[in-house]
Chains A and B, each alone.
Chain A
Amino acid sequence: MTNEIVIETKNLSKVFKEVKAVENLSLNVYKGDVFGFLGPNGAGKSTTIRMLLTLISPTSGSIKLFGEDLRKKRVDLLRKVGSIIEKPDFYNYLSAYKNLEILGRISGIEIERKKIMSILELVGLEKRYKSKVKTYSHGMKQRLGIAQALLHNPELIILDEPTTGLDPQGMKEIRDLIVFLSREEGKTIFLSSHILHEVELVANRMIIINKGSAQVEGDVKELLNKDSLKVTFEVDDSEAAKKSIANMRWVNHVNSAVDNKIIFSIAPEEISELNKHFVENGIGVNAIIPTRSLEEYFLSITEKGTG
């Protein structure tokens, strides 16, 4: 990641009749970022992505890609962008190969057969390249969607729910592909997803939006660790464990204790200290499970916005 800004929106807004879909959204995506774009349904994610791709025009605000005004240099800038927007739709009466060939030519580039085949291989569709897209499953279309996004070797890849309809193995493959594209190919990825775990695994930076407005933006790890974590200690004797901390500060940080599981709200650096304490007092610690996930963080942010 560098300080070069690839996507910059300033006070971006979109109003449909009386509905404010996006309101004063400002965000920065840096070169090399895998940028998670999160928000509940109806938060304005797809509207924002459509504005980034010039499918819809903003009511107000500005969008810069690679430091240049998108409105003024639309065609030049879109040459550097590959995207999947919501569900993957293609010319169903054409083969996957022909779809890619046509999309390449519309992009103004003649793509060699070898290149198309290598992209189809990358997404695991090389054996079905001749089949008409109407015979494809949703998952296959999703893979083809990724193929068309990579077709012209873009610097920025915008992915809107790229794993929808894929099986767990397919989802993992797409995650791996995102990591590969980011780390090995140096691509900047703008990833909108409902699967928060997915974002947590691949993104380095993120923004959470709700009701069209940004709620929080920053480094994924920093945001998740900003406040105290909820950590579940699974011990062999919970009563003994509770007694051992009766006169210690941690007693005030016990959230709940059910069966042999005690949940603490503590800072990350305290986990090892507490673990050491239990072990020194002869209490077996079977597992330490941090429960402060992106999902929980996401809910806390979006519920705050709702309330």
Chain B
Amino acid sequence: MISLINIELYKIFKKWRSYIGFIAIAVLVPLIQIAMLLEGERSFDMMTRNIQQSFIFVGNLLNGYFISYLILNSLVIHIPFLVTLVAGDLLAGEATAGTYRILISRPISRTTLVLSKFISGMIYSALLILWLACISLGLGYSLFGSGELIVIKASGIIIFAKNDILWRFLLAYGTAALSMMVVASLAFLFSSLVENAIGPIITTMTVIIIFVIISAIQIDIFETIKPFLFTNYMSVWGEFFEDPIELSDIFKSCAVLTGHILVFFTAALIIFKRKDILT
């Protein structure tokens, strides 16, 4: 299995499209950070305008942690698209290239084949988030230094001490990776249904956009549906920047996300095992 996963990862990273996500992050994150370096103070003032009358801010609050928090907050919505580019191609890409035939006629079970591709897709998703973490925190720390993290919410502000932040980020990136794996699993499921990678990419993004819109609109009927939408649990990473941390909420969200991954994978496996290869 390890050999097969290595082969799949090798194939993934031999394709140009697999680097689009990494390049996008490598361009976008420094861009945001440079912009914050130039105009960050003004933005920070605007963000804290309402509470400046009640609090006096001292120290380096516009630091690498704060910038990384902002980036994670804004990019976690857009990274799913980068994930689907690869995950949607994992099975359908073989059909498009016509390589299903030489692959499936090999002495290897379809389950093993699907599993190795799926695991590779999960690894890719995790690597993309790891890359985001490295660029975000690494560059943020280099440009802005460290300091306390101020988290501004509608309910108030939370300030985390300097030595109480890094572990929160690590777990936040971990759960963000889990969320991206759900997206990758959904794209993988769609990928098992069709013979062209464009379909799974578009369909996955459409599902996510619809779910996010439903989650955002405050209507009673949508509120009833909301707990059943996986997108509702994708912001679980934000729970690590609460005080106190509600562990039960985190476990529940992670369990729901993991459940979705398993369901999407199982469905993809069943479909693929029954699939007639006609390409």
Contacts and interface: CB of A to CB of B under 8 A. Distances in A.
A55 interface: yes
Contacts of B278: 50, 56
A233 B137 CA distance: 90
Given A91-B11, A93-B15, A54 B98 contact: no
Contacts of B274: 57
Contacts of B60: none
A94 interface: yes
Interface in A291-305: none
A109 to B, nearest CB: 9
A50 B277 contact: yes
Contact of B276 (A56, A77, A85): A56
Contacts of A79: 107
A277 interface: no
Interface residues of A, number: 31
Contacts of B103: 106
B276 A75 contact: no
B101 A85 contact: yes
B49 interface: no
B108 A93 contact: no
Given A56-B276, A56-B277, A91-B11, A81 B105 contact: yes
Interface in B260-279: 274, 276-278
A226 B99 CA distance: 42
Contact of A55 (B11, B14, B15, B104): B104
A259 to B, nearest CB: 50
A135 interface: no
A307 interface: no
Contact of A86 (B11, B101, B106, B276): B101
Contacts of B14: 91, 93-94
A274 interface: no
Contacts of A108: 107-108
**Interface class of chain A by DSSP:** loop
Contacts, number: 73
A70 to B, nearest CB: 12
B152 to A, nearest CB: 46
B101 A107 contact: no
Interface in B92-146: 97-109
B107 A83 contact: no
Given A55-B276, A56-B276, A105-B7, A85 B105 contact: yes
B277 A55 contact: yes
A149 B104 CA distance: 13
B3 interface: yes
A90 B105 contact: no
A266 interface: no
18 contacts: A54-B104, A55-B101, A55-B276, A74-B107, A75-B109, A78-B105, A79-B107, A83-B105, A85-B101, A90-B99, A90-B102, A92-B97, A93-B15, A102-B7, A103-B102, A105-B3, A106-B108, A108-B107
4 nearest A-B residue pairs (beta carbon): A89-B98, A56-B276, A55-B277, A78-B107
Given A74-B107, A89-B98, 6 more contacts: A55-B276, A76-B107, A89-B99, A92-B97, A93-B14, A106-B4
Interface of A: 50, 53-57, 74-79, 81, 83, 85-87, 89-94, 102-103, 105-108, 148, 152
